[in-house]
Chains A and B, each alone.
Chain A
């Protein structure tokens, strides 16, 4: 599973990245990669207008806000179940 954190690197983006990594270990789902996307063009290509944004397997789950680790973990589990 691939998780992307979109944002040019402001404090909120860093916070979201932290929450996402926490969520991955909390969810217990194996084989999840978390990466940062910082280039404006790539961010826009995901159809995101507000940063930071969270994308799980190509689906925009949140934008313009920082969901907490618990919320992200449930999304990870859901995405895993759909596979």
Chain B
């Protein structure tokens, strides 16, 4: 049996063992199964059509219409050093659409391209700044943490890259001669058309994904009014956090069955007003995209785009929804006090633990988002949540082993250390602002 078959067998055996031994009589377990479906429904209703699906089309378009080779040129052996850092820290948007391409590119940039600094910068920020990660984080975890994750990843990627290349400035490695890159096909349309096309698609996503403040006044059937923030809205129940008289959110989440709710009225604000007309704005952008596709793109290009989008769907949807389901189940079993004790609040220890666990743990594509969401619900602080989001996708035990083979033990150790220190620091600062 080859490796693929072994993997498949392990999956089947694992599912079999779970099915065989699952103690269905235990109310905690049945509760956890219910939670898993509840979380899955929440994703299906609130995050799938407005966020995951359009983001998949954008990712497909990036892979099809943007010339990766032209970006790679700025990370090649002849690239100006300082430009290379800047490009490396944001190149993930275009280059890391497929997460499995990150490590080979890292190895390439290190061994034959711009060197250790830009390579580590790319590795740190890449997984955090692909389109899907940006939008899903902002949508699921809130706009602040979504922005902080993106900005933090880019800024600290540059800092980390510079530190790495400063520490290891003397050790000139032996370089591998880069194969001459085959000449990329000539651009089929002027740059402004491509730019406009992507702008319209991103704006579609910005509007369809527009932030819902979730600040509402809930009127109950018995006449009481509650000022609250909705955490989860599923078909049968509302999970809310009350606003206390001080204006702060209560820490505990209450579940109110829908049949007790008479009316839910959003608290008006600019963000909320835009939210209410978001589908009109998104629809206008969608029409614009269709118009451009019709006028500017050939049938073959559109077919290639749809094909790439479908490939992403096949890759991401099972992982994401499977991840959401498992996260909901495990979250239903985890005791809140244990999570809060480890990563609650915004202490140095909480941030460090979150960063360290993030460095070791392997997150399948995008699953870091539901996992962090679940942990914050169980009491994880905002700072540690960001720390985990930064350190998590950048490194994992399997990727550390690969990196070790490429850059050696000392550099790997320093890189891991810097990643943890940097993520802890960003988490601390962020936590003290929003916590």
Contact = CB atoms under 8 A, between A and B. Distances in A.
A51 B72 CA distance: 12
Contacts of B182: 60-63
A8 B103 contact: yes
Given A11-B311, A63-B179, A64-B72, A44 B100 contact: no
Interface string B225-264: 0000000000000000000000000000000000000000
A64 B111 contact: no
Given A12-B311, A40-B405, A62-B182, A50 B101 contact: yes
Interface residues of B, number: 31
Interface residues of A, number: 23
B314 interface: yes
Given A11-B314, A11-B315, A44-B107, A50 B68 contact: yes
A51 B109 CA distance: 13
A43 B107 contact: yes
A44 to B, nearest CB: 4
Contact of A50 (B69, B180, B405, B406): B69
Interface string A54-76: 00000011111000000000000
Chain A CB within 10 A, most for which of B76, B110, B182, B406: B182
Interface in B100-153: 100-101, 103-105, 107-113
B408 to A, nearest CB: 12
B113 A49 contact: yes
A43 B177 CA distance: 13
Contact of B68 (A10, A40, A47, A64): A64
The 6 closest A-B pairs by CB, nearest first: A49-B108, A47-B179, A60-B179, A10-B100, A44-B107, A51-B104
17 contacts: A7-B100, A8-B100, A11-B98, A41-B406, A43-B104, A44-B104, A44-B111, A44-B176, A45-B176, A46-B179, A47-B176, A49-B72, A49-B75, A49-B76, A50-B68, A50-B101, A50-B104
